[in-house]
Amino acid sequence: MKQIICILLLLLSYFAKAQNFRAEITAGIAGSQVSGDQLGGFNKAGILAGAGIRTGLGGDFDLGFRIQYFQKGSRKPVKAENLDSGFYLLRLNYMELPLTLRYHFSKNFYMEAGPSLGYLLKSTEEDENGIMNFRQTFYRFDLSLCGAFGYALTKELDFQFGAWQSLLPIREHGSGQVYRLNRGQYSSVVSFSLLYTFRPKKESEENKQASR
């Protein structure tokens, strides 16, 4: 996997230098949950960070590809009344490869969506007694549908509200049972992030002249 990431980074660097491509970096926070673990709410906080490229397709559409580190999982919050002493924390660290099609509604607002292939780097599961062993193992690869609404704060900086939903189970249920489309546990995430776009020097100069 390390070799694949290095190759992808080299490709991103190559395409970012091309005139039709723009490089971008992103960073933010996320709240996640796992369906099928008997817990509700996006209580597991994590970070996301990555880099990518984007190119225009003509009109109001463009296409983007990113390499992104993503912390997901699940967490049982501690109740204020202390009536439940149970503790649970699941950490899932992924390397995500989202490919998104973006549509611009206006000068400042846009929406993007597309598939994302995830590779599980590390998983840790624990309760009040410590690390939980002999649990159902997580699948190494994950396929998700991701989407985001974006707002351009400046010509280079955007704010994004995103959502991620795994299309394939991240692991089997503890019982191993399946029911129709419910094949196991699935990951869901909401995110808030900032996206910075490195615009070509020529494009930046044209924007400055246009604003005068």
pLDDT of residue 108 exceeding 90, the answer is yes
Q: What pTM did the predictor assign?
A: 0.82
- The token duo for 30 is 């996320």
Q: For residue 6, with 0-12 CB atoms within 10 Å meaning exposed, 13-18 middle and 19 or more buried, which class applies?
A: exposed
What are the pLDDT digits (tens) for 124-153?
Answer: 999 888 888 777 899 999 999 999 999 999
What's the average model confidence in pLDDT over 2-10? 61
For residues 157 and 195, is the Cβ–Cβ distance under 8 A?
yes
Tell me the fold of 20-69+79-107+136-211. Porin (2.40.160)
Q: Which amino acid is at 203?
A: E
pLDDT, one tens digit per residue, over 30-42 is: 999 998 777 778 9
pLDDT tier, 119 (very low <50, low <70, confident <90, very high otherwise): very high
String of b and e for 98-127 (b: at least 16 CB within 10 Å)?
bebebebeeeeebebebebebebeebebee
- Cα-Cα end-to-end distance for the chain: 48
SS (H, E, C) 30-93: EEEEEECCCCCCCCEEEEEEEEEEEEEEECCEEEEEEEEEEEEEEEECCCCCCCCCCCEEEEEE
Section 16-23 average pLDDT: 72
The C-alpha angle with vertex 150 and arms to 148 and 156, in degrees rounded to 5, equals 130
Cβ neighbors of 122 (< 8 A, separation 6 or more) are 91, 92, 93
Question: Do the Cβ atoms of 193 and 31 come closer than 8 Å?
Answer: no
User: Which of 11-15, 56-60, 111-115, 135-139: highest mean pLDDT?
Assistant: 111-115
